């Protein structure tokens, strides 16, 4: 059920990952007070088009125009956790802006997320963002053949929870390859269910690892637009993601632009 990737396929995913990184770099440059989230989304689509790639989010999951997710990026501001939709909303000083981008190049996918800290972000929110980024780094440092994913997830969860942050349960990472969402599910926590469905990390496994932390309660809800996920308590959230291949030596990050 987990489809292993060949070195050639992994190189194709790295090519998609380079386009994803180009989008993130461009959006991070532009993400300043006053710009609207729709302007960021439009620029992302331009970068994807000029790179000869296809966005994976617009009209997801059927890809029939006018159905499903209506934007190129997921842009999730402050209390929005994931799947925020671009709009006329203007970015303000102190916002934390989650940007998620996925593209396909030559039949293979890359998916990565980043949280941009705009100007003067409150210290507690800034630290929560840094902890989320650190959780992703911990995962990358600890992925290697012979381990179970739950061993990695436990380290991420412990890092977050000992600092008082919530680890979102309802949304998790995923296998990725010729489709954006493949088996297995890649949770950022450990439970009886995740242990039952544990993943053997072996060479050729490729995962989108994506910790989502909250400053307060880990409880989330989906807004009436059917997409935007927010924290129930309205406190800030952060999200970082890389597409990562398991190699003989450990993790090979495919979406860092290298
Ligand atoms: Mg993503
Ligand atoms: Mg993903």
Q: Which two tokens stand for residue 45?
A: 């689509």
Ligand nearest to the CA of 208: 2
Q: What is the pLDDT of residue 242?
A: 99
Ligand nearest to the CA of 101: 1
Q: Compute the mean pLDDT over every residue in the chain, rounded to the nearest whole number.
A: 98
Instruction: Give the Å distance between the CA of 113 and the centre of ligand 2.
Output: 8
C-alpha distances (whole Å) from 56 to each of 8, 53, 74, 89 are 21, 9, 11, 23
Instruction: Give the Å distance between the CA of 208 and the centre of ligand 2.
Output: 5
Q: What is the pLDDT of residue 1?
A: 82
What does the pLDDT look like over 183-198, one tens digit per residue? Answer: 999 999 999 999 999 9
- In this prediction, the residues of the chain whose per-residue pLDDT falls under 70 are none
Instruction: Give the Å distance between the CA of 180 and the centre of ligand 1.
Output: 9
Ligand nearest to the CA of 24: 1
DSSP 110-121: EEEEEEEE-SS-
Instruction: Give the Å distance between the CA of 103 and the centre of ligand 1.
Output: 10
Instruction: Give the Å distance between the CA of 214 and the centre of ligand 1.
Output: 17
Long-range CB pairs of 223-230 (<8 Å, 24+ gap) are 225/85, 227/69, 227/83, 227/84, 227/85, 228/76, 228/80, 228/83, 228/84, 228/85, 229/76, 229/80, 229/81, 229/82, 229/83, 229/170, 229/171, 230/79, 230/80, 230/81
**223 C-beta neighbours (distance < 10 Å), count:** 13
Ligand nearest to the CA of 207: 2
Residue 174 three-state SS: strand
Instruction: Give the Å distance between the CA of 46 and the centre of ligand 1.
Output: 18
Ligand nearest to the CA of 82: 1
Structural domains in the chain? 7-247 (3.90.230.10)
Q: What is the pLDDT of residue 125?
A: 98
154, exposed or middle or buried, with CB in 10 Å at 0-12, 13-18, 19+? middle
Ligand nearest to the CA of 179: 2
140, exposed or middle or buried, with CB in 10 Å at 0-12, 13-18, 19+? middle
Instruction: Give the Å distance between the CA of 173 and the centre of ligand 2.
Output: 6
CB 107 within 8 A of CB 93: no
d(CA 248, CA 243): 17
Q: Does pTM top 0.85 for this prediction?
A: yes
């Amino acid at each position: 059920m987990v489809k292993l990737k060949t070195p050639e396929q992994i190189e194709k995913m790295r090519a998609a990952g380079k386009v994803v990184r180009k989008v993130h770099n461009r959006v991070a440059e532009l993400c300043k007070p006053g710009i609207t989230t729709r302007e960021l989304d439009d620029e992302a689509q331009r970068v994807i088009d000029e790179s000869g790639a296809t966005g994976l989010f617009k009209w997801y999951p059927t890809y029939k125009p006018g159905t499903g997710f209506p934007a190129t990026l997921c842009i999730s501001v402050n209390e929005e956790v994931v799947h925020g939709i671009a709009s006329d909303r203007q970015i303000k000083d102190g916002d934390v802006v989650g940007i998620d981008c996925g593209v396909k190049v030559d039949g293979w996918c890359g998916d990565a997320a980043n949280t941009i800290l705009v100007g003067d972000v409150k210290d507690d929110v800034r630290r929560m963002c840094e902890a989320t980024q650190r959780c992703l780094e911990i995962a990358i440092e600890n992925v290697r053949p012979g381990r179970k994913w739950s061993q990695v997830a436990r380290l991420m969860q412990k890092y977050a929870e000992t600092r008082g942050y919530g680890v979102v349960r309802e949304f998790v990472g995923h296998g990725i390859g010729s489709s954006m969402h493949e088996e297995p599910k890649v949770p950022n926590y450990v439970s009886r269910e995740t242990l039952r469905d544990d993943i053997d990390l072996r060479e050729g496994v490729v995962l989108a690892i994506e910790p989502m932390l909250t400053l307060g309660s880990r409880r989330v809800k989906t807004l009436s637009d059917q997409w935007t996920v927010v924290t129930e308590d309205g406190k800030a959230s952060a999200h970082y993601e890389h597409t990562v291949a398991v190699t003989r030596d450990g993790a090979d990050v495919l979406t860092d632009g290298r």
